[in-house]
Structure 1
Amino acid sequence: MDSRTDHLVRKLRLRHLELLVALSETATMRGAAARLHLSQPALSKMLGEIEACFDARLFERSHQGMQPNALGASAAYRARAVLHELERATEEVAALKSGAVALLRLGAPSVTAAVPAAVADLRQRLPGAVVQIREGRVHELIQRLLAGELDCVFGAVTPELLASDVTPRLEPVLMLEDELCVLTAGPAPRAGKGPLRWADLRDAPWMVPPRDTLVRQAFMTAFLNDAAVPPAPVIEVMSSVTIGALLRADPALLCAVRREHATDELARGGVRHVDVTPRVPLPSFGLFLRRDGLPRPAILTAFADALRRVASPPRSGRSQTPRLRRTSTS
């Protein structure tokens, strides 16, 4: 540690870090005092100690409350990460005391075939591993990863993620290609001559997700690239549970989904993959860690290896070599 960091370690207490987080979230001394169960004068004294340690003003006082300035927002962000790391230490020690050999806190979408298979693979090779899976949207999970609440996130590399300012703070360790897949519970449609194309399916009854999703946009692009007007869906739905139920209840339906979703549905049975030309790529899935320069726990490497072993695209019901691309960690 340099001298400035050593000074902070000697002067600041965990209660100071809690105050930084509480003030940044409540924006009032009264709200922070209620959260920390301390008096406002005591918090004012603590805030003075914090700002003296940083030799900088961290919060701007006004009649509307207290707002962190750029310095305060940065300090509060790091304080939150420290507290989450302490929470992780508490959870990990408790897990190890109860007989676990390692703890993995994983963020993932609610529909993914790779994650359950990889977790099962990990548990077979490391029976004492404990895995906590938190489901949600990728941008929300990434924020939890950066805040120290999660160890890794498996999710789609969306345009919003690439355009955000968090990308330089992420370390991708594994990338899996993704594509648009078509499923049905009925007989697979056939083309007149040659391979089945998107234009051949323009009159079929389609079930697709809403317009603001990447899958729907890729679905429309597939028809436009084939010089066909994108068909209006007969069913528009987002829920993976509803999609699976409707597919099996109505064999006439065709459904456009991600490969990860398709693999999950095919494994459940009762549906088949429809091979349509040309292939329509979707943003890749990635496994992301925080880029913090710290040594990686062995369980993170073990989980990435498990993902590599189990990932496989659903192509006409045949097993193929996974399309994996290992990324640089530099």
Structure 2
Amino acid sequence: MEQFKFKPITPNTLSALRRLRMRHLELLCHLSEATTVSAAAGKLNLTQPAVSKMISEIESVSKAALFTRGRTGIQPTIQGALLIRQACDMVQSLDRCFSEINSIEEGSSGLLRLGSFSTTSIFPKLVVDVIQQLPLLKIQIQESPPQELINALINHELDGVVTSFSREMMGDVRTKSLKLQPISTDSLCVVASKKHPFSKRRTIKWTEAVQHRWALPPKDALMTKELMYALKKMDCPDIIPVIESMSAITMKGLIQFDDNLLGIMREHQAKEEERANNLAIVKIQPKINLPDLYLVTHKQNLIPSATMQALQKALGL
């Protein structure tokens, strides 16, 4: 069993522990959305005076003005927004703790909540490897676009994410609380059916390829953004797809059964489809690189050390 050392805390924190209750944390979480004391009171099933008193108690302990009151309602100050964010983190951590306790009660050795996008073949292999190392570990999986995964991780709804990082995500100040461990490089592959005219060609230029029929993820998807960005740098016209779909399974089927359709996949996924004789990789030059893949966790890691070691071993970190 892991041993944790309780670090000394400041007198202010000790005072807060003795004077505030879990109900105060719950109130702060509701104030992240509620803009009036009345609305917060409704969520807590308390009277408005009772909630106003609780806010005063929190401000007294914090020794700071945490909210401004006006005709339009109540708004957090900079200090208030900081406290709300930390309170939400604490409640989410508590929720994760109880979920793991329930998993242990059901016979597992713990709970690991992982996220990934659906178009990577690295993730299923990772999960299988971790389970082989820790057979009693319970794993919950969420598949979503990269930005949604990062939001879930920041909000403590996930413990770790296998994903790529776009330029926009790298610029998000919230990601400073996250730890990025590189897993592999990645690139974009154009794929087609085995009978597509391009499937046997030795080399094709983008200027020719953009004129054909395409099936692409929506324009706000990371791969589509990277494709359009690269085409713009090459002075090629944008691709106007005849089909848009976020589903990797649907996209694969469409390309496989339409001999005149082109699509895009991540390189490792495209190579697996080609090895299985499902699709052909179209040899288009120049190659378009995608953002690297990372294992993303919190810098203040809450994953038990044995589970984290299994994750890192599975990824070769």
Same fold (TM over 0.5): yes
Q: State the partner residue of 1:189.
A: 199
User: Comparing 91-100 with 221-230, which one deviates more in the overlay?
Assistant: 221-230
The amino acid that maps onto 1:84 is Q
- Within 2, Cα distance between the matches of 1:204 and 1:92? 51
Q: RMSD of the alignment, in Å? A: 2.7
Once the two structures are superposed, the pairs formed by residues 150-229 of structure 1 within 5 Å of their partners are 150-187=158-195, 189-191=199-201, 195-199=203-207, 201-220=209-228
Question: Per the alignment, do residues 294 and 115 of structure 1 end up closer, same or farther by CA in structure 2, a change over 3 Å counting?
Answer: closer
Query: What is the CA–CA distance in structure 2 between the aligned matches of 1:65 and 1:91, rounded to whole Å?
Result: 35
Report which stretch shifted further, 90-99 or 32-41: 32-41
Q: Is the CA contact 1:208–1:236 (under 8 Å) kept in the aligned structure 2?
A: yes
Q: 1:271 aligns with which of 274, 279, 283?
A: 279
Counterpart residue number, 1:311: none
1:21 touches 1:76 (CA, 8 Å); kept in 2? yes
Structure 1 position 169, deviation (Å): 1.2
Distance 2:56 2:239 in 1: 63
Cα distance in structure 1, aligned partners of 2:205 and 2:243: 21
TM-superposed CA distance for 1:222, in Å, is: 5.4
Is residue 248 of structure 2 the alignment partner of residue 240 of structure 1?
Answer: yes
Partner of 2:310: 302
1:287 deviates by 1.3
Answer yes or no: is the 8 Å Cα contact 1:208–1:233 preserved in 2. yes
SS in 2 for 1:24: coil
Q: Secondary structure at the match of 1:292?
A: coil
- 2:109 aligned partner, one-letter code: V
The answer on whether the counterparts of 1:199 and 1:223 sit within 8 Å (CA) in structure 2 is no
Relative distance call for 1:266 and 1:11 in structure 2 (3 A) is farther
2:88 to 80, 87, 90: 80
Partner Cα distance (1:93, 1:268) in 2: 42
Q: Match of 2:68? A: 60
How many Å separate the matches in 2 of 1:274 and 1:33?
Answer: 60
Q: Distance in 2 between matches of 1:293 and 1:243?
A: 36
Which segment drifts farther, 205-214 or 130-139? 205-214
Q: TM-score, normalised by structure 1?
A: 0.82
Alignment of 1:244-259 (within 5 A): 244-259=252-267
- Find the aligned partners of 1:264 and 1:60 in 2 and give their Cα distance: 57
How far apart, in 1, do the equivalents of 2:155 and 2:228 lie?
A: 37
What SS does structure 1 have at the residue aligned with 2:173? coil
Distance 1:94 1:224, change over 3 A: closer
2:186 partner letter: D
Alignment-derived partner of residue 3 in structure 2: none
1:29-66 deviation digits (Å, cap 9, x = unpaired)? 22211211222222122111111110011111112111
C-alpha distance 83-263 of structure 1, shift in aligned 2 (>3 A): farther
Moved more, 80-89 or 121-130: 121-130
Q: What is aligned with 1:13?
A: 21
Structure 1 residue 242, shift from structure 2 partner: 2.6
Bigger mean CA offset, 114-123 vs 199-208: 199-208
Share of identical aligned residues, percent?
34
Note the C-alpha offset of 1:260. 5.6
Secondary structure (helix, strand or coil) at the match of 1:177 reads strand
Is the deviation greater in 88-97 or in 139-148? 139-148
3-state DSSP of counterpart to 1:96: helix
Give the corresponding residue for 1:37: 45
Q: How many residue pairs align between the two structures?
A: 307
Report SS of the residue matched to 1:31: helix
Larger CA deviation: 3-12 vs 157-166: 3-12
TM-score (norm 2): 0.85
Rounded to whole Å, the distance in 2 between the matches of 1:305 and 1:36 is 45
Query: Shift of residue 229 of structure 1?
Result: 5.1
Alpha-carbon distance in 2 for matches of 1:267, 1:132: 30
